[in-house]
Amino acid sequence: MGGCAAEDVSLKSYTLLNAHIQYSINKHFIVYADGQNQGNKVFNEINGYNAIGRMLMIGLRIK
């Protein structure tokens, strides 16, 4: 009754390459790098919406 139900859609399978590394400089500082989708794979997690491409974050944590 009412609503806008749509049929299920099968999406293609995919494999991602993600990585995270970190190094403790001393007890107060940690540097890190976090890479997502390093193969730059184009894929959809939700039908019609592309996921983010290759991404690299580099940072410093202070304890």
Stretch 3-28: mean pLDDT: 88
Q: Which one has a higher pLDDT value, 62 or 10?
A: 62
Residues 25-60: tens digit of each pLDDT: 999 999 999 999 999 988 888 888 888 899 999 999
Query: Domains of the chain: which residue ranges?
Result: 19-62
Q: Which letter does DSSP use for residue 47 in this model?
A: T
* Res. 11 pLDDT band, cuts 50 70 90: confident
* Res. 3 pLDDT band, cuts 50 70 90: low
The predicted pLDDT at position 49 comes to: 82
